[in-house]
Amino acid sequence: MTLHPILAALRKHKAGVVLISLQIALTLAIVCNAVFIIGQRVERVNRPTGLDENDLFLVTQQWVGAPSSDDPAGVEKLDVMQKEDLAALRNLPDVASVAPSNSVPLLNSSWTGSVSIKPGQQLGDKSGTRTAYYFTDDQVLPTLGLHLVAGRAFTAADVQHQGARDQRDRPVIIVSQALADKLFPQGSAVGKVIYSDGSSAPSTIIGVVARLQTPSTGSWGNDFAWYSTLVPTRLDSNFTRYVVRAKPGRRDAAMSAVPAALYAVNPMRVLDADDSVKSFADIRTSAYRADVGMAILMGVVCLILLCVTAAGIVGLTSFWVGQRHRQIGVRRALGARKIDILHYFQIENLLIAGVGVALGVLLAVGLNMWLMTHYEMTRIPLVYVVIGVLAMLAIGQAAVFVPARRASNVPPVVATRSA
Amino acid sequence: MFGYYMDLALRSLRRNKVLTALMVLAIAVGIGASMTTLTVMHLLSGDPLPGKSGTLFYPQVDADPTNDYSHTDPLDVMDYRSAVDLWSAHRADRQALIVDSKLKVQAPEVNLPSLMEMMLSTTSDFFPMFDVPFQYGSGWSADDDEKHARVAVISADLNNKLFGGTNSVGRALRLRDTDVRIVGVLKPWRPSPQFYMVAGGRFANGQTDDFYTKPEDVFTPFTSGLEINDGNFWQFTCWHMPDTPGHLQNAPCVWIRLWVELGSAAKVADYRSFLAGYAAQQKALGRITHADNTRLRSLMQWLDLNHVVPSDVHLQTWLAFAFLAICLFNTVGLLLAKFLRRSGEIGVRRALGASRRAVFAQCLVEAGLIGLLGGIGGWLLTLIGLWLVRRQPTVYADMAYLDASMFFTTFVLAIMVSLLAGALPALRASRIAPALQLKTL
């Protein structure tokens, strides 16, 4: 079959052809970019924190009427209380290990500061970078399930404590691989000395963990999302957090045993009913709720758009079939087979959709560039556009099938009747 | 004539129910999506104090003496010294210092566990300046500011929580370890955004949801608040580590906001030169180095600078309108098909004397009717959309309701979209040559 009669017929329906191809172009542009946004959000949500997240949960508690952490005697008392809590939690039958920590990845509550390879550098210095600190103790690696790739873990002798708002030297630290590579691009970081928060007191890197995300998921923290520093120091204040690893499969049992165990140690505390004992899975869910919401919204929008466009194709093709009822009859009477008629409409649709997607690719790239200048977006990978084009063509063919088959069923005898 | 066209339109719509349903649905979905996002946008980008915002200004001076960055704009909030100096000068019609902090709140006479609430410490002008509505009592006086009075104003929410919504004026409230007397209870007050705390939006990368949180639950005089919750004030930023974290009166930190009310253009100009004069004087004293870096932005300018509307909301609005455009194209195509299919009928009408204009009008009435039906569907979908928004865990979720103006806009938009969609097909239909059509009949 030659294309000539199809093109000649299309010339008679300019408005309809232009409308359908524009609709296909716009749909392609939007769907490509929306799917790309979905892809980005899904990728963000699925990135691993570096923790072994199964069986992990977080306890947040606050003492009532506790001594002040601003005077040294108060700090000592608070530290004793914290050690009692830790001991009680470690004694629970379903608990594997416990470490105190000011935060965990994805919690969006962080202590951020700067580290530099030179002493006394304020933030903004080129030789340093931002980092998020985890103040914890020697149990942190097994508790979080971190993977030590170089150096050694903290020992009980490394562990210090301080009032939550005091400044104290940090003689030994463990850093994430990303931070180690950033500070010491050539060679191993273990044994090297860095300076934290503009201090002149050196901190020696004793170990490197493979991967550890910072607590903040906001975009302000994107630049240093993997630059984490572990400090073997218990922070003492009237507010503490404990990270608990339950024995495999015993997380829920361990979680329900926590409040009673802590109240038994000291009843003068607040354990918030909803938030104080939170599984890591819940922390992850709430951290990424907005991203998941946006992804779902985009998905729904894409689906509806594709349906609307498909419906438009069905509607317009049906109209054309009705309009050409008699001509189809004539062609059939002159010897065209059913399959020829079917192919005619399918090829016609392929031509229109082809023009539409060609325009749509340009629009999609343009839209992506506009989004890049106005929002946090990266260049759309070609594969999204290619898949979008194939999907659009397939949807066009699917939409045209029903009206085209109806056209192919027009009997030749129609030609003999007057309209 | 209109009635006749209406009758024709209804008949035509009934004739092909599937096509009609498809068009109505397309418009309804497009309208539903765009009105949902437009309502959220309207809610977030509106003027928080209509009629008053033009007289409210946000002064800034640059007290950071370091040269670590380019100082193109002063820091977003002020240091204690500059803010208090400018406030004490009383050169504006009204002026309010603002700082917030978190603290433990308890009502000693009520047997309820203590709550952690946000406290806003401000000066007496805050309430009249921002038109804050009172349910019981009133704000405190300038004298109370002066005397560090132990008084407080509480929100309607907190009053409901602690006192069951009764008049609690005169009752006691324990803020951390200090007892204060309640002098006023606010009516429910939900400015959008919470404009007086907005700062730092330029650095938020579009994640500005926090600008829409509820106002604080406890309000105390500025001087009293600083004493009651001493040690728990957090800086916006510092250029050196503060010696005593949480106590920032002499720290190299910015942490206090100042708002002024200036009733006329002349007063604005006066205040601007006063601000410049103050900075120059402080430079002479050696306290600041970037004296020419002062700003006096109006409330709306300040909100613009901070890009208060979150970028996800912008993105959703664009998406929704692109969506509406596709629905529009779809409807144009379908209407075209529908009108041209009736070429024969239109030819007869033309032959019997109907003018082109009459055919055009008739087609537009039909398109408008589809728009009206689509508008009703779109309104229902908007209500569902807003219900979904309210179920999202965003801080502004509680405000997402359709107001009268947006309800009206829904139908105007729907009918406009359908008339726009109908224009081209109606034009084509009105150009049908009667003779050609009659011949084929």
The predicted complex's ipTM stands at: 0.72
Domain co-membership, B296 together with B432: no
Task: State the Cα–Cα distance between residues A316 and A322, nearest whole angstrom.
Answer: 10
Chain B residue with CA closest to A222: the answer is B205
- Distance from the Cα of B438 to chain A's closest Cα (Å) equals 12
Closest CA to A173 of A143, A142, A145, A140: A140
**Which residues pair with residue B94 across a beta bridge?**
B261
Q: Point out the domain boundary residue: B280, B305, B330.
A: B305
Cβ pair B325:A375 closer than 8 A? no
User: Is the pLDDT score of A95 beyond 70?
Assistant: yes
Res. A361 pLDDT band, cuts 50 70 90: very high
User: Is the pLDDT score of B69 beyond 80?
Assistant: no
Do residues B417 and B320 lie in contact, with contact meaning Cβ atoms separated by under 8 Å? no
The minimal CB distance from A23 to the residues B68, B326, B336 is found for: B326
Domain co-membership, B111 together with B30: no
- Distance from the Cα of B437 to chain A's closest Cα (Å) equals 12
The minimal CB distance from A301 to the residues B246, B323, B428 is found for: B323
The pLDDT value recorded for residue B382 is: 93
Torsion of CA B1, B6, B8, B11, to 10 degrees: -160
- Name the percent of chain B lying above pLDDT 70: 100
- Distance from the Cα of B314 to chain A's closest Cα (Å) equals 9
Q: Alpha carbon A153 to chain centroid distance?
A: 30
The minimal CB distance from A26 to the residues B26, B240, B322 is found for: B322
User: Is the pLDDT score of A187 beyond 60?
Assistant: yes
The pLDDT value recorded for residue A123 is: 55
Side-chain half-sphere exposure of B223, counting CA atoms within 13 A: 15
Task: State the Cα–Cα distance between residues B326 and B126, nearest whole angstrom.
Answer: 48
CA distances from B267 to B91, B126, B293, B298, B328 (A): 9, 19, 20, 13, 50
Mean pLDDT over A401-419 rounds to 83
Q: Which of 248-277 (B) contact A at CB < 8 A?
A: none
Contact of B340 with chain A, judged by CB distance below 8 Å, is answered with yes
Which structure tokens are listed for A389? 């084009």
Res. B394 pLDDT band, cuts 50 70 90: confident
Domain co-membership, B170 together with B239: yes
Domain co-membership, B235 together with B330: no
Chain A residue with CA closest to B391: the answer is A293
User: Is the pLDDT score of A415 beyond 80?
Assistant: no
The minimal CB distance from B333 to the residues A27, A312, A376 is found for: A312
Q: Point out the domain boundary residue: B255, B287, B305.
A: B305
Cβ pair A375:B333 closer than 8 A? no
Query: How many CB atoms lie under 10 A from the CB of residue B164?
Result: 9
Cβ pair A15:B424 closer than 8 A? yes
- Distance from the Cα of A312 to chain B's closest Cα (Å) equals 5
Give B70: exposed, middle or buried? Use CB within 10 Å, 0-12, 13-18, 19+. exposed
Contact of B170 with chain A, judged by CB distance below 8 Å, is answered with no
Domain co-membership, B126 together with B8: no
Domain co-membership, B216 together with B250: yes
- DSSP-assigned states of every residue in A235-293: EESSEEEEEEEESTT-HHHHHHHHHHHHHHH-SSEE--TTTSEEEHHHHHHHHTHHHHH
Question: What's the pLDDT tens digit per position in A106-139?
Answer: 998 888 888 888 887 665 556 678 899 999 999 9
* Chain B residues closer than 8 Å to A270 by CB: 113
* Chain B residues closer than 8 Å to A168 by CB: none
Question: What's the pLDDT tens digit per position in B287-317?
Answer: 888 888 899 999 999 998 888 888 888 888 8
Mean pLDDT over A31-52 rounds to 90
User: Is the pLDDT score of B27 beyond 80?
Assistant: yes
Q: Which of 56-85 (B) contact A at CB < 8 A?
A: 68-69
* Chain B residues closer than 8 Å to A122 by CB: 68, 240
- Distance from the Cα of B185 to chain A's closest Cα (Å) equals 28
Domain co-membership, B297 together with B373: no
The minimal CB distance from A309 to the residues B205, B240, B326 is found for: B326
Cβ pair A308:B330 closer than 8 A? yes
Q: Residue B113: phi, psi to the nearest 5?
A: -60, 155
Domain co-membership, B59 together with B150: yes
The pLDDT value recorded for residue A418 is: 61
Q: Point out the domain boundary residue: B305, B335, B366.
A: B305
- Distance from the Cα of A11 to chain B's closest Cα (Å) equals 15
* Chain A residues closer than 8 Å to B205 by CB: 218-220, 376
Secondary structure E strands in B22-93: 56-60
Closest CA to A189 of A174, A169, A211: A174
Question: What's the pLDDT tens digit per position in B227-256?
Answer: 999 888 988 888 877 777 788 888 889 999
Mean pLDDT for all residues in chain A: 88
The pLDDT value recorded for residue A286 is: 86
Q: Fill in the amino acid letter for B168.
A: S
Query: How many CB atoms lie under 10 A from the CB of residue B47?
Result: 15
Contact of B393 with chain A, judged by CB distance below 8 Å, is answered with yes
Which structure tokens are listed for A164? 């939550």
Which structure tokens are listed for A117? 């390879």
The pLDDT value recorded for residue A1 is: 58
Domain co-membership, B198 together with B60: yes
Question: What's the pLDDT tens digit per position in A140-159?
Answer: 999 999 999 999 999 999 99
The pLDDT value recorded for residue A284 is: 92
Query: How many CB atoms lie under 10 A from the CB of residue A139?
Result: 22
How many domains does chain B divide into?
Answer: 2
The minimal CB distance from B29 to the residues A16, A26, A304 is found for: A304
Cβ pair A122:B68 closer than 8 A? yes
Do residues B193 and B212 lie in contact, with contact meaning Cβ atoms separated by under 8 Å? yes
Tokens 């804050």 belong to B132
Cβ pair A308:B327 closer than 8 A? yes
Cβ pair B322:A315 closer than 8 A? no
The minimal CB distance from B329 to the residues A23, A318, A419 is found for: A23
**Which residues pair with residue B260 across a beta bridge?**
B57, B95
Task: State the Cα–Cα distance between residues A101 and A234, nearest whole angstrom.
Answer: 7
Domain co-membership, B394 together with B295: no
Cβ pair A312:B336 closer than 8 A? no
Cβ pair B336:A15 closer than 8 A? yes
Closest CA to A82 of A158, A155, A136: A136
- The SS3 assignment for A38 reads helix
Angle at B85 between CA B81 and CA B91, to 5 degrees: 155
Cβ pair A309:B29 closer than 8 A? no
Domain co-membership, B250 together with B387: no
Does the reported pTM lie above 0.80? Answer: no
Q: Fill in the amino acid letter for B248.
A: L
Q: Which residues contact B4 (CB under 8 A, 6 or more apart)?
A: none
The pLDDT value recorded for residue A70 is: 77
Q: Residue A378: phi, psi to the nearest 5?
A: -115, 175
Cβ pair B207:A220 closer than 8 A? yes
Q: Which domain holds residue B73?
A: 53-305
Do residues B159 and B183 lie in contact, with contact meaning Cβ atoms separated by under 8 Å? no
Cβ pair B333:A23 closer than 8 A? yes
The pLDDT value recorded for residue A127 is: 65
The minimal CB distance from A316 to the residues B203, B204, B334 is found for: B334
Mean pLDDT for all residues in chain B: 89
Question: What's the pLDDT tens digit per position in B154-209?
Answer: 999 999 989 999 999 999 999 988 999 999 999 999 998 999 999 888 877 777 88
Task: State the Cα–Cα distance between residues B205 and B192, nearest whole angstrom.
Answer: 20
The minimal CB distance from A70 to the residues B22, B231, B440 is found for: B231
The pLDDT value recorded for residue B45 is: 87
Do residues A284 and A50 lie in contact, with contact meaning Cβ atoms separated by under 8 Å? no
Task: State the Cα–Cα distance between residues A113 and A215, nearest whole angstrom.
Answer: 13
The pLDDT value recorded for residue B10 is: 87
The minimal CB distance from B326 to the residues A27, A198, A293 is found for: A27
**Which residues pair with residue B258 across a beta bridge?**
B97
- Distance from the Cα of B220 to chain A's closest Cα (Å) equals 24
Cβ pair B340:A319 closer than 8 A? yes
Domain co-membership, B76 together with B117: yes
Chain A residue with CA closest to B313: the answer is A294
More confident residue, B69 or B429: B429
The pLDDT value recorded for residue A126 is: 63
Cβ pair A312:B330 closer than 8 A? yes
The minimal CB distance from B22 to the residues A16, A289, A311 is found for: A311
Res. A172 pLDDT band, cuts 50 70 90: very high
> Between A and B, how many residue pairs show a Cβ–Cβ distance under 8 A?
114
Question: What's the pLDDT tens digit per position in B111-166?
Answer: 887 788 899 999 999 999 999 999 999 999 999 999 999 999 999 999 998 999 99
Task: State the Cα–Cα distance between residues A223 and B176, nearest whole angstrom.
Answer: 38
Cβ pair A316:B337 closer than 8 A? yes
Task: State the Cα–Cα distance between residues B398 and A89, nearest whole angstrom.
Answer: 39
Alpha-carbon dihedral sign for residues A288, A294, A297, A298: negative
H/E stretch holding B390 reads helix B356-391
Cβ pair A124:B68 closer than 8 A? yes
